[in-house]
Amino acid sequence: MKKSFDLLCYAAVCTLLLSAASCGGGRSKPSPISRVSFTADADCTGHYDYTHTDTLYDEYCEDEREADDVAVIPYTEECGVKIVAVRVNGIPMDMILDTGCSGTLISLAEANYLFEKGLLTDDDFLGTSESVIADGSVVENMVVMLRRVEIGGAIYCDDVVATVSPSVEAPLLMGNEILDRVKSFTVDNVGKNIILNLY
């Protein structure tokens, strides 16, 4: 019998203030980030290729390519936070860039949706972890494995360990579990890009 995410999660409320806490449990060294390759046809249409990641062509068929060791990820800003377009196990979502969060956080709503679509299975359930929330109390949350998180249509991470907030309204946070996979990163506040130095 399949587990229900509603039954596995606890009734504590996780808010954006988790950025001051440890959002993820213990984890092994993460796998590196890989590129998504965009193959442009003659008419500037094309497709993304997840099997050959040595070259990235931009979506608008421009002549210039990004350097192999740099990826530029655009973001939008809302209420003072930076939001990045991602795909979690193939499903489009928005995540808040949160450098104060040790891991990756998704809400119960996203976890249930992925589970119902068969994109999150019993095998992806890793157990539970403890988090300290804003009032100093400790809550226990479910931990799952996200098989692939694609970021900005340019790069992807496999086997991302994520904490599931028991709140369906909790924001999705992209923290250091993903950022630690790159050599370094900077934020271009003028151009609204996150620049990742991959190697």
Phi, psi dihedral angles at 19 (to 5 degrees): -60, -20
Query: Per-residue confidence at 192, pLDDT binned at 50, 70, 90?
Result: very high
How far apart are alpha carbons 101 and 122 in whole angstroms?
26
> What local confidence, expressed as pLDDT, does residue 67 receive?
54
Give this prediction's pTM: 0.68
Residue 95 pLDDT > 90: yes
How far apart are alpha carbons 2 and 163 in whole angstroms?
19
Length of the chain: 199
- Domains (range + CATH), the chain: 5-197 (2.40.70.10)
Quick one: average pLDDT of 11-23?
36
Compute CA distances 169 → 15, 16, 26, 166, whole Å.
8, 10, 25, 9
Per the model's pLDDT, the better-predicted residue between 44 and 198 turns out to be 198
Residue 171 pLDDT > 70: yes
> What local confidence, expressed as pLDDT, does residue 43 receive?
43
How far apart are alpha carbons 121 and 85 in whole angstroms?
24
Each residue of 6-15: pLDDT tens digit? 433 332 233 3
Quick one: average pLDDT of 22-46?
50
> What local confidence, expressed as pLDDT, does residue 30 receive?
52
Each residue of 111-139: pLDDT tens digit? 999 999 999 999 999 998 877 776 888 88
Residue 75 near residue 190, CB atoms below 8 Å:
no
Each residue of 37-88: pLDDT tens digit? 544 444 444 433 433 333 333 443 343 344 578 889 999 999 999 999 999 9
